[in-house]
């Protein structure tokens, strides 16, 4: 019959459709029963300190100035308490310029200037402009006792131009430009700082391990008094930057003898140090240890993230290399050593009456961090089930606590292995030396990455196991079912045609 060859081709095609539909349905069913597809890994890349606008000290509420100086600008959303002599923006480093001005504002006060109950002969010297949100209790003057035009000063209400205490500018600023108005929305800035601090604390990036001078791994919370800590950073490039994350406790920082950088951070390899102060109730007196191997040149690429601190005091020790992000903390500096970076805090005492604080050097954070927007197994939504759902049978081969499945690269799978130096992650071991992050984990350090796994014993799915959200599985099942339905219809039609022949 002349139409026979065409009919044979049609049968092959219909079989293929049907088989494809059945296969798709089978895969969907397998995924629904046994797991999920890998979620997409995107990276959020940003500078967490951008809301500070380049200021050396950026404070939500009150700042007390006692000693000694800031190379860049000082901004405070509440009152400025003058309790000693202080130099602001002494290196003319600040760049923030308010709308309508042609000169940067080095001192921004959201509230008022408070010269104290027992004022002394203190002078706050400011390079460039000042902004004061509330001029209650002060006068702004730019003429002296001889009515000569001079540089602008802020003095106590009714006091003379030469009086002390005072805020003294190194240039003349139009009186109406001083205030009463603040050009900065501190509330919005600190809402972002808190969000950024939280995100950094759970940042899924390259985990940095602590090791002692013999190379032995030190878990988070495991630094013994007088023990040297050494760290090695992953190095990125302009085309492939790498964010390094070191997770420590406040006790770790105070216990270590020094922190040795075996290689320094840079613009393509920044370091975030997440400091957990929960063990001391969110309060920390920090005796800063030497950070060997780095200095001011590397300070713009380090953030010390005190996400959960409510009180942070620098009480002694060495210079802090890098910026301090402590958006919920009352910060105080009574150490004569310096901070080479920015200070972000709820309140700040820069020095205390009778005690000298250190200088704040202008090394603002100048890198971008990249944290994966990773949806861990704990964050997945299970596909809906019905009363007719039958659970997959289990066998004795299911990894139990302490057991492991071997990955192709030698790493350990679900149960967590005993690899002494393996990093946690896909195909990596979760063992004695597993790198630590936040969330639950099954390594002996007890510090797994954010969104710890929910496989057997809380470990992450590894070695290429399927993992996706329930919503993705549903979509896949619908597609497979549709394909199966199309194949079935075509197969029935072909069968009917064959019967007619």
H/E run at residue 29: helix 4-34
User: For 44-123, where are the alpha helices, taking DSSP H only?
Assistant: none
Where do the structural domains in the chain lie, given as residue ranges?
11-37+469-501, 78-178, 185-373
Return the closest-CA partner of residue 266 out of 230, 294, 231.
294
For residue 238, count CB atoms less than 10 angstroms from its CB and return exposed for 0-12, middle for 13-18, buried for 19 or more.
exposed
Query: CA-CA distances (angstroms) from residue 70 to 45, 84, 173?
Result: 29, 14, 21
| Residue 42 banded pLDDT, cuts 50, 70, 90 | low
What span, in angstroms and rounded, lies between the C-alpha atoms of 261 and 252? 16
Instruction: Tell me what percent of the residues of the chain surpass a pLDDT of 70.
Output: 66
Q: Computed from CA positions of residues 105, 111, 112, 118, in that sequence, does the dihedral angle turn out positive or negative?
A: negative
What span, in angstroms and rounded, lies between the C-alpha atoms of 249 and 390? 46
Range from 8-17, 175-184, 370-379 carrying the lowest mean pLDDT: 8-17
What single-letter DSSP state applies at residue 76? E
Supply 211's token pair: 């090791």
The residue that leads in pLDDT, 194 or 353, is: 194
For the chain, what is the mean pLDDT?
A: 77
Q: Could you tell me if 47 and 365 are in contact, meaning their C-beta atoms sit under 8 angstroms apart?
A: yes
The residue that leads in pLDDT, 348 or 468, is: 348
What span, in angstroms and rounded, lies between the C-alpha atoms of 86 and 335? 15
Q: What is the pLDDT of residues 160-195, one digit of tens each?
A: 999 999 999 999 999 999 999 999 999 999 999 999
- The pLDDT, as a whole number, for residue 122 is 94
Residue bearing tokens 């089930």: 385
- The pLDDT, as a whole number, for residue 12 is 41
Q: What is the pLDDT of residues 297-341, one digit of tens each?
A: 999 999 999 999 999 999 999 999 999 999 999 999 999 999 999
Which residues make Cβ contacts (< 8 Å) with residue 303, sequence separation at least 6?
Answer: 48, 49, 200, 270, 271, 272, 273, 322, 323, 325, 365, 369
- The pLDDT, as a whole number, for residue 29 is 42
Which residues make Cβ contacts (< 8 Å) with residue 397, sequence separation at least 6?
Answer: none
Region 475-497: what's the mean pLDDT? 46
Q: Could you tell me if 348 and 331 are in contact, meaning their C-beta atoms sit under 8 angstroms apart?
A: yes
Return the closest-CA partner of residue 262 out of 296, 288, 231, 295.
231
Return the closest-CA partner of residue 272 out of 31, 443, 46, 13.
46
Q: pTM of the entire structure?
A: 0.69
The residue that leads in pLDDT, 70 or 416, is: 70
């Amino acid at each position: 019959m002349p139409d026979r060859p065409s009919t044979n081709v049609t049968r092959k095609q219909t079989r293929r459709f049907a088989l494809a539909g059945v296969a798709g349905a089978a895969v969907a069913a397998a995924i629904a029963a046994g797991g999920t597809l890998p979620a997409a890994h995107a990276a959020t890349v940003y500078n967490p300190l951008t809301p500070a606008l380049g200021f050396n000290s950026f404070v939500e509420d009150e700042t007390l100035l006692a000693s000694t100086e800031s190379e860049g600008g000082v901004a405070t959303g509440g009152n400025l308490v003058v309790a000693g002599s202080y130099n602001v923006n002494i290196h003319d480093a600040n760049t923030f310029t308010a709308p309508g001005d042609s000169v940067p504002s080095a001192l921004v006060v959201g509230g008022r200037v408070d010269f104290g109950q027992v004022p002394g002969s203190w002078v706050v010297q400011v390079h460039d402009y000042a902004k004061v949100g509330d001029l209650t209790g002060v006068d702004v003057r730019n003429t002296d006792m001889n009515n000569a035009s001079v540089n602008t000063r802020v003095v106590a209400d009714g006091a003379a131009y030469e009086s002390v205490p005072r805020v003294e500018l190194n240039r003349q600023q139009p009186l109406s430009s001083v205030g009463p108005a603040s050009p900065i929305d501190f509330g919005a800035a600190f809402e972002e700082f808190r969000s950024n601090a939280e995100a950094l604390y759970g940042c899924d990036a390259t985990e940095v391990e602590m090791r002692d001078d013999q190379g032995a791994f030190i878990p988070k919370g495991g630094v013994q008094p007088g023990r040297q800590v050494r760290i090695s950073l992953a190095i990125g490039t302009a085309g492939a930057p790498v964010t390094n994350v070191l997770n420590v406790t406040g006790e770790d920082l105070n216990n270590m003898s020094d922190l040795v950088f075996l290689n320094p951070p840079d613009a393509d390899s920044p370091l975030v140090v997440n400091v957990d102060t929960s063990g001391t109730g969110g309060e920390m007196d920090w005796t800063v240890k030497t950070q060997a191997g780095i200095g001011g040149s590397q300070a713009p690429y380090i953030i010390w993230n005190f996400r959960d601190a409510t009180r942070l005091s620098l009480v002694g020790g060495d210079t802090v290399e890098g910026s301090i992000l402590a958006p919920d903390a009352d910060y105080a500096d009574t150490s004569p050593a310096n901070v080479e970076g920015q200070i972000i805090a709820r309140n700040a005492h820069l020095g205390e009456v009778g005690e000298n604080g250190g200088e704040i050097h202008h090394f603002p954070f100048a890198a971008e961090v990249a944290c994966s927007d990773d949806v861990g197994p704990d964050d997945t939504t299970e596909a809906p089930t019905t009363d007719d759902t039958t659970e997959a049978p289990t066998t004795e081969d299911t990894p139990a606590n302490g057991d492991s499945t071997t990955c192709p690269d030698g790493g350990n799978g679900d149960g967590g292995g005993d690899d002494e130096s393996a990093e946690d992650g896909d195909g990596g071991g979760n063992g004695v030396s597993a790198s630590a992050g936040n969330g639950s984990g099954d390594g002996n350090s007890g510090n797994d990455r954010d969104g710890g796994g929910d496989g057997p014993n809380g470990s992450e799915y590894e070695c290429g196991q399927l993992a996706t959200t329930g919503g993705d599985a549903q979509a896949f099942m619908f597609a497979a079912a549709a394909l199966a339905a199309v194949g079935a219809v075509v197969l029935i039609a072909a069968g009917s045609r064959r019967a007619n022949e």
